[in-house]
Chains A and B, each alone.
Chain A
Amino acid sequence: MSLTFRILLILAAIWAFRFVIIEIRKSKLQITDSLSWFFITLVFILLALFPQIAEHAAELLHIQSPVNLVYLVVIAILIFRIFLLTVRVSQLDNKVKELTQRLAIDETDEEDEKK
């Protein structure tokens, strides 16, 4: 891995870290949800500081260049995050539905009681 690429990784990590901290400070992000982003920054920094990790792993998996392995890892993490996000959206969707139904039914019950 070239030095430029490694510096780029570290810059990306710092940028991501800053972003997460800013959102937490503004009370727009829950700490429990921020954990995976800290994990991603950590992975970036480890890959940049210890290029041997990517080199060995690339060799092991018969991938031509370590950089390609880094791409692969990043894409894999992203796909996994998107999947978890989809699950989360589904759950939220369901909660909103249940809340709406409960609210609407309660309102009807109240009106029926008045009659």
Chain B
Amino acid sequence: MSIKVLVIIPAYNEAGNIERVVGNLEKNYPQLDYVVINDGSRDDTAEICRKNSFHLIDQPVNLGLSGTFQTGIKYAYSHGYDAAVQFDGDGQHRPEYIEQMAEEIEKGADIVIGSRFVNEEKPKSLRMFGSNIIQTLIRLTSGRNIKDPTSGMRMYSRRVMRILAFNMNMGPEPDTVAYLARCGAKVKEIQVIMDERIAGESYLNLSASARYMMVMSVSILLIGAFRPKIKLQEGSV
């Protein structure tokens, strides 16, 4: 891996997970740069990071995932990183795939998705039904077949980081991937295994999931058609 990659770990109320997740990263992958971004957690997430002297950006108020992730992207962009990857603080994502993802960026991809369904069949559940809808909407609007659009494990090239860092409506969600694909970004998926979160709670309960699906559908299908195309700078990395 010859490019510089920053691992961005957004953390909101992850006191039960953060020590294990970042500890594993530091111990087994010391070659990787990372930063934990505490999103104004109400639990001891920040204190635990300080106690372990983890690399930490501590946001004093809660911004939500998209604002928090953007903080990480801004940091990565201004510190000259060639790529940045979102890595969840709950232990769902495995660091062993980061190197392989970085290789795809080196080969010229703009967005590399750590995908559960490149070679594997999608299981039948309510959540995967939602994933299928988003997959279909992206295929309809951009012609790309993204098999795991809701995977949170995504790596971005520097030229995409620049767009994510300084524009509105560029949260780390499938609608952004769809929009960037329409702007000509190269999207690549690699097969990964994801683990279940161990402690804490996912922020996606039933009503939040319904809202999420509404926003994604309207954004990809309706708004996507009207958004002005951003020009990706020539020459990646």
Contact = CB atoms under 8 A, between A and B. Distances in A.
A11 B19 CA distance: 56
B169 A31 contact: yes
Interface residues of B, number: 17
A21 to B, nearest CB: 5
Contacts of B215: 31-32, 35
B218 A38 contact: yes
Interface size class of A (residues with CB under 8 A): 10 to 19
Interface in A1-53: 21, 24-25, 27-28, 30-32, 34-35, 38
A88 interface: no
A25 B169 contact: no
Contacts of B168: 27-28, 30
B61 interface: yes
Interface in B44-73: 60-62
A28 B168 CA distance: 8
A24 B168 CA distance: 9
Interface stretch (B21-29, B88-96, B219-227): B219-227
Nearest to B222: A38
Contacts of A34: 218, 223
A27 B60 contact: no
A24 B226 contact: yes
Contact of B60 (A28, A30, A31, A99): A99
B219 A27 contact: no
Interface in B203-237: 211, 214-215, 218-219, 222-223, 226-228
A31 B226 contact: no
B61 A99 contact: yes
A24 B222 contact: no
Interface string A64-102: 000000000000000000000000000000010011001
B60 A98 contact: yes
B78 interface: no
Contacts of B218: 31, 34-35, 38
B14 interface: no
A25 B223 CA distance: 9
B167 interface: yes
Nearest to A103: B60
Nearest to B219: A31
B60 A102 contact: yes
Contacts of A24: 169, 223, 226-227
A76 to B, nearest CB: 20
Interface of A: 21, 24-25, 27-28, 30-32, 34-35, 38, 95, 98-99, 102
Given A24-B227, A32-B215, 19 more contacts: A21-B226, A24-B169, A24-B226, A25-B228, A27-B168, A28-B168, A30-B168, A31-B175, A31-B219, A34-B218, A34-B223, A35-B211, A35-B214, A35-B215, A38-B218, A98-B60, A98-B61, A99-B61, A102-B60
